[in-house]
């Protein structure tokens, strides 16, 4: 039996549909777990870098999620803003799929964005 990966068990892979976003809290830090149009799963900080708005409430198109507040879009792979008014990336977290489950490690930011301040 293989060992579970680092990070927090979030959900089953089957719990997230294509073009769906799921908001979770990890150590009181908001994370959005997203399945893009290709079926790939990503984990990002759930707060838009332009305003204090949850990205999980936005639309997923292709490999981007749109902030419903002002229309900024973020690349799910890199966290980079694709459309103004946001110009700072959101953090992208290490994600692993193990035995059909999704694990997110918020202590490992993969895109160079600021790491979350955890309680």
Domains of the chain: 8-109 (2.102.10.10)
The size of the chain, in residues, is 119
Nearest to 75 by CA among 96, 57, 61: 61
Amino acid 118: pLDDT: 80
Q: What is the mean pLDDT of each run of 10 residues along the chain (119 residues)?
A: 80 96 95 97 96 96 96 97 95 96 96 84
Amino acid 6: pLDDT: 87
> Looking at the whole model, is its pTM more than 0.85?
yes
Amino acid 22: pLDDT: 97
Distance CA 67, CA 15 (A): 22
> Which tokens hold the place of 43?
């984990």
Distance CA 39, CA 47 (A): 22
Amino acid 114: pLDDT: 83
Distance CA 109, CA 90 (A): 10
């Amino acid at each position: 039996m293989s060992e579970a990966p680092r990070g927090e068990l979030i959900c089953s892979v089957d719990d997230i549909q294509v073009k769906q976003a799921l908001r979770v809290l990890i150590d009181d830090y908001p994370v959005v777990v997203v399945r893009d149009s290709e079926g790939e799963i990503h984990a990002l900080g759930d707060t838009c870098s332009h305003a204090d708005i949850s990205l999980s409430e936005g639309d997923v198109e292709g490999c981007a999620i749109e902030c419903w507040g002002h229309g900024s879009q973020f690349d799910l792979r890199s966290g980079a803003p694709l459309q103004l008014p946001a110009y700072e990336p959101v953090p992208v977290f290490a994600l692993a799929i193990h035995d059909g489950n999704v694990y997110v490690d918020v202590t490992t930011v993969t895109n160079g964005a600021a790491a979350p301040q955890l309680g």
